[in-house]
A = this chain, B = another copy of it.
Amino acid sequence: MKSLILSRRDVDFMVYEWLNAEQLCEMPRYADHSRDTFDATLDLCEQMATHHFATHNKKNDANEPWFDGETVHMIPEVKAALDLFAQAGLVAAGQDYEMGGMQLPTLVEKACFAWFLAANVGTAAYPFLTIGNANLLRAYGTPEQINTWVLPMMQGRFFGTMCLSEPQAGSSLADIKTRAEPQPDGSYRVFGNKMWISGGEHSLSENIVHLVLAKIPGSPPGVKGISLFIVPRQLLDEQGNSAEHNDVVLAGLNHKMGYRGTTNTLLNFGEGKFKPNGQAGAVAWLVGEPHKGLSYMFHMMNEARIGVGLGAAALGYTGYLHSFDYACERKQGRLPSNKDPLSVPVALIDHADIKRMLLAQKAYVEGGLALNLYCARLIDEERNALDEELDRITGLLDILTPIAKSWPSQWCLEANNLAIQVHGGYGYTRDYNVEQFYRDNRLNPIHEGTHGIQAIDLLGRKVVINHGFNFEQLMSTILQTSNAATADVNLSEYASMLDAAIYRLADVTRQLHNSGHQELTLANASVYLEAFGHIVVAWIWLEQMLIANGRDDDFYRGKMQAGKYFFIWELPKTTPWLDLLATLDDTCLTMQASWFSS
């Protein structure tokens, strides 16, 4: 039976034919690996996602976790699936052997994880949050901290969270109020409230390791005074087992439009319900140096944001496959040229407008997945790079990250919108799957930095730092692709379009930064992000077309047609966006609050 989660054929195309995962095995870290071990892991993930995650996706949505005032309850399938995931060693898939890991390349790890994100994002979020937490601790924690907290997370005994936002401080972390008071023994006590904490409370694991941003009294104001702390839900006894409850209390669950399987919480730290060692405050340990918490967090943010982009692409992908499947089965109407009402109705897929909606979805979801897997490969390259290569790779990854996060969040959500439309009235009902994907995916333009935050990060920081070094790396990488395509009669037209677009983007970037008026430069940053994203994804499509071109097979013909669709239908949308940016239009900036009201 065909999978409606992801296309394994396409994953193989991206991982092996395009991104050449086997080449990564030449790097010492991945030397034990081969296509065989990669295939075995991909097989395992496809099977597990199909038989243990997708199977309770709807049930999880319809029966969201509930809090009785003492305990959070959820359907038992969640823990069963996560126990299998951990037992298979997947939490540690990308980790060092010494951590019990597989040392799987990030490229393959992300391709594996995409199956779970597409099958059941609500359940899959728990281990992925845990992995993010573990990666941060592994990078900045002491050996003892790693031993105490990371190892149990790798075994699936402990889960992890990231506690950044507060009720009054969402996008603006400079304004967090949670404070960490130093104790004579070198530990801290944390007091404050943290909002939007995914996986903040549940009974899925023995313990929950919260990584908490907080301010030590006397710290500098703003982001330069933020430190990072380990605050476990349960304190450990001398054997390292979870024991006394720390002073971390669930204040409430957030009830969301989608992503319902993942508990999302308001947590109170240090309100005194529990008093470890008879004293108020949540016991905490500093990670790394004081006041560097946000920079630590941001070092891991690339990976977290790529995770969001990957999840958005995965949700788009499964919606695309569901709507394709429906369009093949459902008979409705006749082609415009057929006026005989007695003739047999055709399948939806035979209607041009349905093909348009499926082709758009294909272009969006395969473009989004490919972009995120490309970034995953950059993480592998970065980890193994020689010094002279490192700046280029890091620069490329830095500038691509806001696109990898935001582009699929916007366009793979649009794919989910189209998947509903292909289904007609049925797609709007909860008897079918696509409306849930649409609700789930709507979170992605918000969390891990909103669309607007990504836009300011890209235009205000990523394209300007080091005198535009990152932009130069991206431009030369894109031009390499278009050069390779120029020679081919089937691709030269698209190569020219891509060249024109990237040169125009470079011009507009300069114009924006020469305005001499920072508020105006950044005022339309969201449009810049969108234009930039479409040009990047056109490049990603040309990369795929270079592989597919001239191959006599339905799969490659589909790749070529989706690439053609992207160049002919999507890339030209950037022209009015770039024209608008070039004028430094101030319509939005000069709008006054009093003109909205009346």
- In the complex, A175 has a CB within 8 A of chain B: yes
Query: A519 — which chain B residues lie within 8 A by C-beta?
Result: 335-337, 352
Closest Cβ of chain B to A230, distance in Å, is 24
Query: A456 — which chain B residues lie within 8 A by C-beta?
Result: 336, 353
- In the complex, A503 has a CB within 8 A of chain B: no
> In the complex, are the beta carbons of B598 and A10 less than 8 A apart?
yes
> In the complex, are the beta carbons of B221 and A342 less than 8 A apart?
yes
Contact of A257 among B254, B362, B428 (CB under 8 A): B428
Copy count, this protein chain: 2
> In the complex, are the beta carbons of B572 and A576 less than 8 A apart?
yes
Query: A336 — which chain B residues lie within 8 A by C-beta?
Result: 456, 460, 518-519, 522
> In the complex, are the beta carbons of A572 and B579 less than 8 A apart?
yes
> In the complex, are the beta carbons of A446 and B430 less than 8 A apart?
no
> In the complex, are the beta carbons of A524 and B356 less than 8 A apart?
yes
- In the complex, A349 has a CB within 8 A of chain B: yes
> In the complex, are the beta carbons of A589 and B355 less than 8 A apart?
yes
- In the complex, A76 has a CB within 8 A of chain B: no
- In the complex, A256 has a CB within 8 A of chain B: yes
- In the complex, A538 has a CB within 8 A of chain B: no
**In which size bucket is the chain A interface?**
35 or more
Query: A593 — which chain B residues lie within 8 A by C-beta?
Result: 328, 347, 349-350
Alpha-carbon gap, A350 to B593, bound state (A) = 8
| Given A565-B588, A568-B585, A569-B580: A595 in contact with B554 (beta carbons within 8 A) | yes
Alpha-carbon gap, A350 to B523, bound state (A) = 11
Q: Which one of A256, A328, A518 has the highest number of Cβ atoms from chain B below 10 Å of its Cβ?
A: A256
- In the complex, A359 has a CB within 8 A of chain B: yes
> In the complex, are the beta carbons of A523 and B442 less than 8 A apart?
no
Contact of A595 among B451, B557, B572, B595 (CB under 8 A): B557
> In the complex, are the beta carbons of A420 and B442 less than 8 A apart?
yes
Query: A446 — which chain B residues lie within 8 A by C-beta?
Result: 420-421, 424-425, 427-428
- In the complex, A70 has a CB within 8 A of chain B: no
- In the complex, A500 has a CB within 8 A of chain B: no
Q: Give A contacts to B, CB under 8 Å.
A: 2, 7, 9-10, 165, 168-172, 174-175, 195-196, 221-224, 254-258, 324, 328, 331-337, 341-342, 345, 347, 349-356, 358-359, 362, 417, 420-421, 424-425, 427-431, 435, 438-439, 442-443, 445-447, 450-452, 455-456, 460, 518-519, 522-526, 554-555, 557-558, 561, 564-565, 568-569, 572-573, 575-576, 579-580, 585, 587-598
